[in-house]
Each structure stands twice: as structure tokens, then as C-alpha cells.
Amino acid sequence: MPTRTYSQAINDALAEEMQRDENVILYGQDVAVWGGIFKVTDGLLEKFGPDRVFDTPISESVMVGAGVGAASMGLRPVVELQFADFVITAGDEIFFKAGMWRYMHGGAHTIPLVVRAPSGGSGFGPEHSACPEAFIMHAPGLLCAVPSTPEDAKGLLKQAIRLDNPVIYFEHKLLYQMRGEVPDGEVLTPFGKAVVRREGEAVTLVAWQGMLRRALAAAERLSQEGIEVEIVDPRTLNPFDRETIIESVKKTGACIVVEEAYRTLGVGAEIGALLVEEALPYLDKPFKRLAIPDVPIPTSQHLVDAIVPSVDDIYRAVKDLVD
Amino acid sequence: MKKGEPMDQEQLVRVYKTSELARRFEAKIVELAMAGELPPALHVGAGQEVAQIAAIEALRPDDYILYGHRGVAYMIARGVSLADMLADMAGKEGATSRGKGGVMHVVDVPKGILGESGTLGGSFVVSVGVGMALKRKQPDTVVTYFFGDGTANRGPFHEALNWAAVQKLPCIYFCENNGFAISMPTSRSTAVENIADRAAGYNVPGVVVDGNDPVAVYEVMEQAVARARAGHGPTLIEAKVTRLQGHYVADQQEYRADIDTVAEKDPLPKLQQTLCDRGILTQTDVDDIQADADQQVEAAVAAMRAAPLLAPEVALQDVYA
Amino acid sequence: MQNTKVLMPKLGQAMTEGVVMQWHRKDGERVAAGDLLVTVETDKATYDLEATASGTLHVVVPEGEEVPIHTVIAEIGDAPVQAGTASAPPAAEPVVQPQKASRPGRILASPKAKRLAAEHGIDLSTLTPSSADSVLSAADVERAAENAVADQPPAAAAHIASRRTERERHPLTGIRKAAARRVQAAWQTIPHIVQMVDVDASGLQAIRERLRTDISELTLNDLILSAAARVLAGLPDLNGTVENEELILYDGVDIGFAVDSPRGLLVPVIRGAHDLSITQLVRERQRLVEAARAGQLQPADRGPASLTVSNLGMFGIRAGTPVINLGEPILVFVGAVEERPVVHNGQIVARPMLTLSIAYDHRVADGVAASRLSQGLKEALEDLDSKSLLEIPNPQSPTPSPQEALGKREVRSVSAGGRYAVQVRSHGHVWSLDEPASDGGEDTGPDPVTAFLGALLSCMTIAFKAAARRRKITIERIAGHAKAPPKGQVKEIALTLAVWSAASEQDLQTLLERAKRGCYVSGLLKPDIRLTVELVRHVPDAV
């Protein structure tokens, strides 16, 4: 199988879908001529021309809002927000227009819109480093993808472009250069199907993107001590694959969610509530969250390291729970 | 700007007829709302409907509109069923938005009615996307966004006009300036005298027109539509219109200095007078038009009353395609 | 260099603990790999362990002590024995005592622990948490469920004992201790019902005499073992156990029987007894008895069984209320054969009679189901046929097979007594067909036509989905309805498939045409039966 970087996989997905369907258009700040500030869309302008790949002014509201209008009229826009934090900047357009325009008009419109949102990482400061997927998961009408591997980056994006509902597609900035196998031919990853990245009995870890990599590293260390954890990667947060997590917890009796986001009312809080509502008789240990304490994400790396869950944090949390 | 095609007599009569129907329909809605039969959820458009309908007269049936929260004349001009709009208010079968949007969000895509944003001026940005899609998929059609002077002070106005202008999209921005943003006079909220003055900032034509004169409104719309169809981009039209009633049904308008004299500016009796003076309509014609309008309204009310309430499970539907 | 550890071995699936019976070498003695080291005992048998390394023997667990499996019982080598290696995790003392005083009346336990306790019928207040947080965990409950015996005698019993003159006190060890624990767990966790049935043994005796000329070792009990195996094989619903609120059914009939051995009562198991001729069964029974007496039963020779036969007839016992072996559903207690006055054709006559006292796990068998076996066994024993006994019941499998190999599209059925109810069995599935009470049945299952409608509707649905799968059309849901006239010969059947899919009406109609062709069950209908299939399309609303 060929290997591609996460970034190349996204570029491949865009190119393939634009080739397949002329209604797919791609725009955002600096995406065309410059190829995107993270160079994810490099070369697409040359392939598909300025009518389908174009730059926009610094106008997040109209970027997303126009995406809703264009989608309702039959185009399949893919909009790149330069940073995922800007889903808040375009809040009216994301939450009300993309999320509710169809519902508010009694189903008269379909909104096949994809908003690509580079999330996470560090060194960018409080307004450029967040993983705001919990905001999206909380809102009705918005699908939410969080690919963690090049294969899923490609498969989820291609699937997202084909869905008739708005998708907020979070690309983790620290994964762009991650290399991984991507199968030849059509790669489509279904929404709402989590994947078990590692099997074990001791505890269920739920993690995705940057935190998944750390969870896997911690699992390797724990395994050397005879502790086998199970790691579930949800892949999409809406729709959310409740069954896979519940099945895993039935086996392990314990669950830790690791997320690169604020702790209070995060995705982990939702998973905790889900387990209490639907899997309480199987929980043998307190449910745990590893998340960013409720402070903004600072710029300096060592300060970021002080608040974002690390491999050590995950390792210790598992040890504390199983000992 | 050069003058557009003048409105013919038949069109003017149609504007009058539609205005009478809209005026009477909205009056009935207010009556039913005061009686408690419908929720008081309408922002009455009385006084502005003549400009709205005259502007729409300049559009073709395959053109699209997005609109503001000021009345339902737009929908009547495009032929949306009165009974369905009453059902929108009553939450009954037939409601165009299936009980989700009420009368504020009437939608009828085949008739070119694309809907309305809940946040004021929220459709500016949507209109840009509609323009992008029309340019690529339905060239030669246009989209008109009707908005109030108050919403022109929101950020999306700026983002949308700028980018629509850059892309030369087939969008027409039709501002109905009635002098008030709910209770706040435009003079206190807005730094420029005319909203249309801002057109210079986007390098698009900006035109001020008397919104109480349907012939003048039609002319500037005709010009803007021609420009948009030709691929030259948007026009910002500002019609100075008259809001006869309050912001919402029970608004007593204590804030309004012109409250005693505003009725004199009502364009509808003037239009009727003009048509009679020019010998286009007789008093009998007028009586027939008004009786016909009342009859349509009563039929719609009867149909709405006969329709069943939407089933509760409808609340769970239409989130996803 | 580290010492080689000698662990208490796990010698069978059910084994959780073992007793160190005898050290054949002394503590501190040098041993060589291969030397006979120690004899350990489980509830069923004893085993000799050899040394796996050479060096000095450090005995950790003395003779007579019982420890959990995988516990270190000795080390071989020259390094000192590390403190604490002897204490197995389950026996560990709690680090912190539960702080019950601070929260009177409330027992801290994890939700999973509570669920397990409810399932095992364990009172959480009797348990001690093993974790530092004083919260009872699932592991605490599971351990208690395995032990299932109170370490302390009830307070009342202790009180009475104190007023009596105690002569001697012996800690239970080895087989007795394990047996005591198992029988208590069985008595506490299995809701027993006992049915007693009198059997005219004259036929039984006659057959034994007839067959003894060829099979000299044949006992009356062998005939009962064989009959029980064959009757139970026809009642597959009774061949099961209940664990964690699940009924687990097993293939093949394994029959256990009690053997008195020098180490106490043992229960070896004849595997696949329903597939053995009486000759084969007797041979296997003899082998097991010898192995049991010599302490050489292999793990595969021991339980759990599908049914165990216990015969105390030689002691003149007529009937009893037996306790079922843990992990099994049925125990058949065989009483003494004795001459009893019975009424035969209006006359009081003396007949050789025996009484079977059959205990059932009430969770597996309700009274009616149990009666089927009780009655079936009585009928089988009173009407034994030497020819069929000598035959191997399943000619396809000349060697005993615990698995009954039914293929796809192959079923067996059995219908007991004068009832309509038919039990049908395929590979891995059992279901019942019956008639409603109005038609003379007991309504234990759908009537055959209704069952057929279910098969037809399911087949059409599966065929539809298979066609959709081939064309990559997403079907969210199919709801079906099938109806035939309620009485008489079936002349017409109306099927409706309501399909939730975003696919077009035309696509779905195409799928339906494919499904009609692909539905093999509809192909079983006679041509003059009118089958209509209607499709109703629903557009799904959600993603």
C-alpha cells in the first residue's frame, strides 16, 4: 500500500472528489494561489482552475454563509477556515445557517457543505490552537469528523463531500506531516463508525487525533508492564458511535477520555454521561477525563505542555485506575 | 445609471392588486392575532409592500429572492398560497416551513422564495453563495436580497457586499429604509445619510429611490437586474419607504414623532388614486379588486382553520437530509 | 539467578484451587529436574508434579493447605525465597478496612459490582473491599461468587455448638473441602425442583439378563445411563445452564455418574453418551471407574455433565431430594429396585419397582419441560429394546462425537408424548412449533403456517437486502408484514415490505423484482398459491 502524509491524503481526497463531481468547489483564505497556509491545497488551483479553486478575503462570515447559500443551490462547497477556532468567528453561519437553515425552512434545502478546520497544536496562542469539536457536537444539524490517520483523513473527507449535510471536518495541525498507509482506489470512511485502534482488557481509552497518538504511546508503555488498554477512536463525533464505546466498556469496566480541549462540558463529559445513562451496570471504576483545565491555550510551548494531556499523564491515569 | 425599461399599465395594476391583497391579508393576520387565534408573530409590512411588490415585478419567475422580516408581500407577489402562510403561523399542515420557521421564514424554492435568516441581516452572506451558484449553474438568473436599514449596520453587510462585488455576482441588494431600526431612528444609528452611499466602498452602483413610487422603484430594479444578468455584478438600491405600523403587532410606537402624520404618506391610496385619475381603473374596478382580495383572504382563513395541526413528531424531522 | 517457581497448576476449566497433599522431597533438599516433587489434589483427582529445574527446594505452601491456582507453592534454586510470593492475590488482606461506621447502611460498591452481586445472589454487606478506596469492585464479587461459601459458621450454629461438648475439630481439606464448597454453592445458587417417578423395572431386569450373555459387566445403572442420555438428546432445551442471565445450550449429551473412591465421591463423565451403543457405554464406564479409583481421571473425564446419575439403590434408599452438581442442570437419583404391590389390570400384584428422584435447575426447566424428561425416562426404561440399545444411535458418527453435526438446511425434530409441540433443532439453534390451545396444542410456539410466513417474509427481506448490497444501495430499515387467511388450506399470501431508503422508487422496485427471484422460500410455494408482494417506500429523515 502506498504511504501518504495526512496533508497529502486531504489533498488527494479534494482532487478526487473535484474530478468526480464538477459541483465541488474549494475556497478559503490563501487556499488557491498560495496553496493554503499549511500547504494542504497545493496544486489544486492548477488542476481545476480559478472558477473552482479560489481565494477569499478575510471574511469568515461570508465564507461559510456563502457556502450555505451555494450548497442550498446545488454546489458542494468545501470551505477552508484558516484555524478551527474561527468556527466561533463564523458562529452565526456555522451554527445557525449551516446547522439550522434546513430545519428552519422545513427541509426545503439540503446543505452539502464541508468546512475544513485546522485544529490543535501549539505555538499559535489562545485563538489559534483550540480543538473546538465539542461546540460542534453540541449543536444540532452539524456533522463532525475528526480523522486521526491519513487513511481516515482521505476517507472521511471524501465521504463528507458526498453527504447532503453540513460537515465540520477538523484537521489536526500536528498530524499534517504524519505518514501512513492509504489503500489504492476509492477510500470512503463511513460516518458514525468508531474504530478500535488497540485491543485490551484493562481500561477503555477514548482518544482521537493528537491525543490518540499519545494514548497509543502510553499504551505501548503500559503493555510492557502487562497492562493492556483498549483504545477507541470515534472518527466522527456526530454521528457518534455509542455502541462501540459501550461494548468496549462492557469488556473493560472502565473508561478514560483524553481530549485536547477544555474539560468542562467537553466531548469527554458527553461520553461520561452516555456511560452513566446506558452502561452504568458495567462500570467498575470511576469514569475519568484527561483534558485541558478550563484555561485558554497559551503560546509558549512549555506552558502548553503544562496543560495538555501528555503520554505520561495518560500512563499515570491508567496506572492509578487499574492499581 | 441609465434609466431602465418603464413599467407598463398592466404591471402597475398588478402591483396595486397585489398590494391590496397583501394589505388586507396582513390586516386579517393582525385581527386573528389580537383575537388569540394566531400567535402575534408578524412584523407588518403595511406601507412598504408597494415598493416590495414593484421591485419583484422587475424580476422573472426563475429569479430568486431572500427577504427581511417586514411583511409577507414578497411571498404574495411570487404566488405563495395564503393558506399555507397562515398554516405557517398556526403550525398546521400546509405550513411552508413545517412549523419550524413560522411566518418569518416562509419558503417556496420552486417559486424562488429561498427563505430568511433569523438573525437580522443574516441572509447577506447566504445571498453571496446563491449568487455563486447561479453564476455557475443558472447563468442569466439573479437573486435579490430585501433588507432593512437597521441590518445594514451588521458586519455581514460589509463582508457580503465586498465579496459579491469582487466576484461580480448576480446579486441585487434592495434596502427598505423606513427610518427605524425597531425603535431607533436611522439618524441615530447610522453615520451616513443614505445606506446607498456605502456603495462607493464596494465599487458598486448605489441608488436612492422613493419607495412610495412604484414606477420609480421598478425602473431602478430593472436597471440593476439588467446589470446583474450581464455579469457586471451587484447594485445597492435604497428605497425610502414608509412603515405605517409598529415593529410588531402590539407595538404602540411611543418612540415615534411622526405617529400622527404617517398615514398621509401611505402609498397605497395614492396608487389607487393615480390609476383612477389616469382612467386605468374605475371605482367599480377598485371595488371588485378589494372584494376579490377579501374573498381570497377569507378562503385562506377557512382553509387554515380546516387544516389539522402538524404531528408532534414533525419537531424531530428535517434536521438532516 | 532467580529461583524457578513451582505453581499450583490449573488442571481443568473449573479448577480454581488445589490442595498440597504431600511433598515427596523435604524443604531444603536438593532436587533434580524430573524428580517426583509433590502431589496436589483438586476436588476431583490427584496429580503428581515433577521438578522442572534442579536446585534447592524451598517449600512455600505446607502440606494440607489449599491455595488458588497459579499460586507459588515452592521455589527451586539457590536464591532466597522472596517474602510475599506465597500470598496469592485473591487471598490478600484488605489494605484498608471499609469505613462502614461513617456511612451506616450504605455499601460502597461499583455499579458493575452491584450488577454481579445481584446476578449471583450475593449480599454485598458480607464482602470486604480489596482496593484502597474501600469500594467493592467487580473482582471482589467474582471472587466471592467463586468461593460461594461463608468462611464463618452462622452465629446461631456457633451458639448451639458452644453448649455442646466438642469432641474433635477437623479443618476440611482437599476433596472434602472442595466438595463442601461446591455443594453449598449449588444448593444456594440453583433453584431446585424435584420430580419423583416410579418405574416398573421388570423390563429393565429382563433386558439386563438378556444382554449379560454378551456384556458380562452390564449393570442396571448402565441401562439407566444409556436411557437418560438418549432421552435428553431428544430434549435439547434441557441441555443447558444459566449464567449471568443467559441460557447457554450445549451440543451433545455428556452423562456423569457417581463413583465411590478412596479419596471420596467422584463424578466422572461419559462424553457423547447419546451416541454410544450400550457396549461402548459400558466399556467407557469401566474405564472411568478404574481411573477414578486410581486417582487418574484426566480433565476431560470430569464435569460438568449434561446430566448426572447417582445411584444409592444398594443402600435400600427409595427416593431422595438430590442436589444438582454445580454447572449442570439435572441430577437423576436412582432408588433401590424392590418388590412393591401395584395395581395391574385391576389386580394387586407384586412388581419390581424403582423410583427416580430427578432434580432440575428450575431456571433451565420449568415444570412442564422437566416432566417431559421425567416421563420420557420412565417410558424409555419400561420399554427398553435390546436391539436399539446395541446399535449406535447415530450411524453417521461411529465414534462418539460431542458435537452433533447438522449442516445448513438440515433439521431434526422431536415431539414427546401425546402433545402436538414439536421441537426443531438445526446447527446451533432450537425452536418450537405448536398449535394454539383452540386447535388442541399448548401454544409453546407458532403454528407451522405462521412459522412458514415468518420464514417467507424473512427470506424476501434478506433477498431484498442482498440485492441492495450488490448494487451498493443503502437500505436503512425494512419492516415487513405477511398474512394468510387464518383457517384452512392456504391459497393466498399477501406480503408488504416497507423500506426506508433514500434510493428512488424505481431502484427499489428493481430490487424487489430481484428479491422475488432470489427468495428461495417463495419458490417452495405451489404454483396455484397467489403471492402478492407490495413495496412501500419511506424516505429516511435522519443521516
pLDDT at B62: 97
Q: How many domains does chain B have?
A: 1
Determine the average pLDDT of the residues in C359-387: 89
Mutation test of the interface with chain C: which of A284, A320, A321, choosing the one with the most C Cβ atoms within 10 A?
A284
The verdict on a CB contact (< 8 Å) between A106 and B156 is no
B256 located within any domain? no
**Res. C542: pLDDT tops 60:** no
Specify whether the CB–CB gap between B4 and B222 falls below 8 A: yes
Range in A217-231, B302-316, C150-164, C269-283 with the lowest mean pLDDT: C150-164
Strands B206-210 and C55-59: unpaired
- Reported as type and span, the H/E element at residue B1 is none
Q: How confident is the model at residue C174 (pLDDT cuts 50, 70, 90)?
A: low
pLDDT tens column, B205-246: 999 999 999 999 999 999 999 999 999 999 999 999 999 988
For residue B309, give how far its alpha carbon lies from the nearest alpha carbon of chain A (Å).
15
B292 located within any domain? yes
B312 located within any domain? no
The verdict on a CB contact (< 8 Å) between C542 and B320 is yes
Quote the DSSP letter at residue C90. Answer: G
Whether B319 contacts chain C with CB within 8 A: yes
| Domains of chain C from N-terminus onward | 4-91 (2.40.50.100), 101-155+175-189 (no CATH), 191-390 (3.30.559.10), 448-538 (3.30.300.20)
- The yes-or-no answer to whether A3-181 and A195-322 have a common fold is yes
Strands of B131-281, DSSP E: 143-148, 171-177, 180-181, 184-185, 206-210, 235-240
Whether C543 contacts chain A with CB within 8 A: yes
- This complex has an ipTM of 0.95
For residue C357, give how far its alpha carbon lies from the nearest alpha carbon of chain B (Å).
59
* Geometric angle at alpha carbon A294, from A293 and A299, rounded to 5°: 80
Max avg pLDDT among A306-310, C76-80, C389-393: A306-310
For residue A284, give how far its alpha carbon lies from the nearest alpha carbon of chain C (Å).
5
Closest in B129, B156, B319 to A141, CB measured: B319
C44/A226: higher pLDDT:
A226
C392/A298: higher pLDDT:
A298
Give residue A23's Cα distance to chain centre: 24
Choose among A6, A305, A321, A287: nearest CA to A155: A6
pLDDT at C420: 83
Retrieve residue C531's grid coordinates: 403471492
For residue B114, give how far its alpha carbon lies from the nearest alpha carbon of chain A (Å).
9
pLDDT at C43: 63
d(CA A208, CA A232): 8
Count other C-beta atoms under 10 Å from residue C104's C-beta. 6
What three-state secondary structure class fits A296? Answer: coil
pLDDT at A39: 94
Percent of chain B with pLDDT over 70: 99
Max avg pLDDT among A87-101, C353-367, C498-512, C527-541: A87-101
Say how many CA atoms lie within 13 Å of A64 toward its Cβ. 28
The CATH number, out of the four listed (3.40.50.970, 3.40.50.2000, 2.60.40.10, 3.40.50.720), of the domain defined by the range A3-181: 3.40.50.970
- Render A222-243 in DSSP notation, one character per residue: HHHTT---EEEE-SEEETT-HH
Quote the DSSP letter at residue B133. Answer: H
For residue A28, give how far its alpha carbon lies from the nearest alpha carbon of chain C (Å).
27
Long-range CB pairs of C183-190 (<8 Å, 24+ gap) are C183/C323, C183/C326, C184/C148, C184/C149, C185/C148, C185/C149, C185/C326, C186/C323, C186/C324, C186/C325, C186/C326, C187/C323, C188/C121, C188/C148, C189/C120, C189/C121, C189/C148, C189/C326, C190/C324, C190/C326, C190/C361, C190/C362, C190/C363
Rounded to a whole number, what is the distance in angstroms from the first to the last CA of chain B? 44
pLDDT tens column, C236-287: 889 988 887 788 888 889 999 988 887 777 889 998 888 888 888 898 899 8
B75 located within any domain? yes
**Res. B78: pLDDT tops 50:** yes
Determine the average pLDDT of the residues in B279-300: 97
**Res. C152: pLDDT tops 50:** no
B200 located within any domain? yes
pLDDT at B246: 87
Determine the average pLDDT of the residues in C388-402: 51
**Res. C156: pLDDT tops 80:** no
C54/C133: higher pLDDT:
C54
Choose the catalytic residue: A105, A109, A128, A138. A128
**Res. C85: pLDDT tops 60:** no
pLDDT tens column, A78-108: 999 999 999 999 999 999 999 999 999 999 9
pLDDT at C87: 39
Q: How confident is the model at residue C93 (pLDDT cuts 50, 70, 90)?
A: very low
CA-derived radius of gyration, chain C: 30
Torsion, Cα of C224, C226, C232, C234 (10° steps): -130
d(CA B144, CA B218): 13
Q: Residue for cell digits 383612477?
A: B276
The verdict on a CB contact (< 8 Å) between B317 and C541 is yes
Chain C neighbors of A239, CB-CB under 8 A: 543
Chain B neighbors of C541, CB-CB under 8 A: 316-320
Whether B320 contacts chain C with CB within 8 A: yes
Q: How confident is the model at residue C98 (pLDDT cuts 50, 70, 90)?
A: very low
Burial of A125-135, coded b for 16+ CB within 10 Å and e otherwise, reads: eeebbbbbbbb
pLDDT at A20: 97
d(CA B204, CA A39): 34
**Res. B54: pLDDT tops 60:** yes
The verdict on a CB contact (< 8 Å) between A239 and C113 is no
Choose among C424, C428, C476: nearest CA to C452: C424
Determine the average pLDDT of the residues in C351-359: 93
Range in C160-174, C499-513, C514-528 with the lowest mean pLDDT: C160-174
Torsion, Cα of C322, C323, C329, C330 (10° steps): -20
The verdict on a CB contact (< 8 Å) between A108 and B137 is no
How many residues does the structure list for chain B? 321
d(CA B295, CA B289): 10
Mutation test of the interface with chain C: which of B98, B313, B318, B320, choosing the one with the most C Cβ atoms within 10 A?
B320
pLDDT at C401: 37
d(CA C247, CA C324): 17
Chain C neighbors of A253, CB-CB under 8 A: 110, 112, 138
The verdict on a CB contact (< 8 Å) between C112 and A282 is yes
Measured over the CA atoms of residue A39, residue A40, residue A44 and residue A49, the dihedral's sign is negative
Quote the DSSP letter at residue C109. Answer: B
Determine the average pLDDT of the residues in A136-152: 98
Between A and C, how many CB-CB pairs are < 8 A?
Answer: 29
Q: What chains are in contact with C, requiring at least 3 Cβ pairs below 8 Å?
A: A, B
- Reported as type and span, the H/E element at residue A3 is strand A3-5
Give residues 56 to 85 of B whose Cβ lies within 8 Å of C: none
Chain A neighbors of B129, CB-CB under 8 A: 65-73, 75, 77
Q: Residue for cell digits 504524519?
A: A178
pLDDT at C159: 45
How many residues does the structure list for chain A? 323
Mean pLDDT, chain A, whole residue set: 96
pLDDT at C150: 45
Residue B151: CATH number of its domain: 3.40.50.970
Q: Residue for cell digits 371595488?
A: B287
The verdict on a CB contact (< 8 Å) between B128 and A73 is no
The verdict on a CB contact (< 8 Å) between A282 and C114 is no
pLDDT at B292: 97
The verdict on a CB contact (< 8 Å) between A284 and C115 is no
pLDDT at B113: 97
B261 located within any domain? no
d(CA A102, CA A166): 10
Give residues 162 to 181 of A whose Cβ lies within 8 Å of B: 164-165
Retrieve residue B298's grid coordinates: 377569507
pLDDT at C39: 83
For residue C472, give how far its alpha carbon lies from the nearest alpha carbon of chain A (Å).
13
Q: How confident is the model at residue C392 (pLDDT cuts 50, 70, 90)?
A: low
Say how many CA atoms lie within 13 Å of B161 toward its Cβ. 28
Specify whether the CB–CB gap between B122 and A97 falls below 8 A: yes
Range in A232-246, B265-279, C319-333 with the lowest mean pLDDT: C319-333
Count other C-beta atoms under 10 Å from residue B146's C-beta. 27
Retrieve residue B135's grid coordinates: 453564476
The verdict on a CB contact (< 8 Å) between B318 and C541 is yes
Whether C114 contacts chain A with CB within 8 A: yes
Give residue C333's Cα distance to chain centre: 18
pLDDT at A182: 96
- Render C273-334 in DSSP notation, one character per residue: GGG--HHHHHHHHHHHHHHHHTT---GGGB---SEEEEE-GGGT-----PPPPTT-SEEEEE
For residue A279, give how far its alpha carbon lies from the nearest alpha carbon of chain C (Å).
9
pLDDT at A133: 97
- Render A241-264 in DSSP notation, one character per residue: -HHHHHHHHHHHS-EEEEEEEEST
Percent of chain C with pLDDT over 70: 86
Retrieve residue A57's grid coordinates: 478575503
Q: Where are the domains of chain A?
A: 3-181, 195-322
Whether B252 contacts chain C with CB within 8 A: no
**Res. C92: pLDDT tops 80:** no
Count other C-beta atoms under 10 Å from residue A109's C-beta. 22
Mutation test of the interface with chain B: which of A18, A94, A104, A238, choosing the one with the most B Cβ atoms within 10 A?
A104
pLDDT tens column, C403-450: 456 778 888 887 766 778 787 877 767 788 888 888 888 888 899 999
Contacts of B315 (CB under 8 A, 6+ apart): B99
d(CA C278, CA C207): 12
Determine the average pLDDT of the residues in B94-113: 95
Determine the average pLDDT of the residues in B74-83: 97
Residue B124 belongs to domain spanning: 9-246+279-305
For residue C479, give how far its alpha carbon lies from the nearest alpha carbon of chain B (Å).
19
Q: Is A109 a catalytic residue?
A: no
Architecture of domain A195-322: 3-Layer(aba) Sandwich (3.40)
Determine the average pLDDT of the residues in B160-189: 95
Whether C541 contacts chain B with CB within 8 A: yes
* Geometric angle at alpha carbon A106, from A100 and A107, rounded to 5°: 80
Q: How confident is the model at residue C158 (pLDDT cuts 50, 70, 90)?
A: very low
Range in A219-228, A289-298, B239-248, C342-351 with the lowest mean pLDDT: C342-351
B270 located within any domain? no
The verdict on a CB contact (< 8 Å) between C542 and B318 is no
Cis, bond preceding A239 (omega within 30 deg of 0): yes
The verdict on a CB contact (< 8 Å) between B317 and C543 is no
pLDDT at C453: 94
**Res. B140: pLDDT tops 80:** yes
Chain C neighbors of B317, CB-CB under 8 A: 541
d(CA A192, CA A205): 18
Identify the closest residue of chain B to C542 by CA–CA distance.
B320
Percent of chain B with pLDDT over 90: 88
Q: How confident is the model at residue B162 (pLDDT cuts 50, 70, 90)?
A: very high
Specify whether the CB–CB gap between C417 and C405 falls below 8 A: no
The verdict on a CB contact (< 8 Å) between A65 and B122 is yes
Choose among B25, B14, B27: nearest CA to B53: B14
Percent of chain A with pLDDT over 70: 100
Specify whether the CB–CB gap between A230 and A252 falls below 8 A: yes
Percent of chain C with pLDDT over 90: 21
Identify the closest residue of chain C to B315 by CA–CA distance.
C541
Amino acid of residue C268: P
pLDDT at C101: 35
- Render A24-62 in DSSP notation, one character per residue: EEEEETT-SSS--TTSTTTTHHHHH-TTTEEE--S-HHH
The verdict on a CB contact (< 8 Å) between C543 and A280 is no
Range in A37-41, B263-267, C275-279 with the lowest mean pLDDT: C275-279
